[in-house]
Amino acid sequence: MKKIVALLLIVLLFAQFSGCASMSGTEKGALIGAGVGAGVGALVGDTKGAIIGALAGAVIGAVVGNYYDNQVATREEALSKHKVSKLNTLNIDIDSSSVNPQSVKANSTVDAQVQYTILAPSDVSQITVIETRTLVKGSERIGLAKREVTRAQGTHLSTMRFTMPKDIEKGDYTLITTISDKEGRQIRTAKNSLKVI
């Protein structure tokens, strides 16, 4: 019986998740975490265990899915701004990128933001892109995050909030942000300076 309840909770929460396209990455992460937590809680305990598991999972999921996404321009607005009259193929451009703050201590929070525009022929409604963020200092590379996300055409603002590793060495780093299509035909890169003090 517990297994049936657990499975039902997971199915219901994931069904809710799949229908919430407007949710932020953090909210989606929290919902996934809640679903998994509820399922585990129900399997190992009772209904109370499912509720406790859901709450714990929501917190863990929110930390894992710490992205904030916003579409800032439609396809038509982006076409006008970038002065494109006709498109025959996919085009990705990074408009701007930043890190805030630019000087940080180990174990402190940083917002890495990138704004980019995706344009393609009018019959293409959704485009899958890959966002990759890497910290570089000399030959040292720290992979922060890599995610695959499906976007509508237009201009998008993607913010990733992360915590600097607590054992990171002090010094000057470069945050490299790469936006590419799934096939790797279009690859755009932005670089921002970041100092660990």
User: What confidence tens digit (pLDDT) does each residue in 136-181 have?
Assistant: 999 999 999 999 999 999 999 999 999 998 899 999 999 999 999 9
Give one DSSP letter per residue of 31-47, joined into a string: HHHHHHHHHHHHHHS-H
Nearest C-alpha neighbor of 128 from the set 92, 75, 95, 76: 92
Selected residue with higher pLDDT from 53 and 126: 126
Q: Residue 165: is the preceding peptide bond cis (ω within 30°)?
A: no
The two three-digit tokens of residue 53, written as one number: 């598991």
Contacts of 88 (CB under 8 A, 6+ apart): 121
Q: Which pLDDT band, with edges at 50, 70 and 90, does 18 fall under?
A: very low
- The pLDDT assigned to 61 comes to 37
Interval 24-46: pLDDT, tens: 444 454 444 445 444 444 444 55
- Whether 129 has a pLDDT exceeding 90, the answer reads yes
Triad 151, 120, 97: Cα angle to 5°: 55
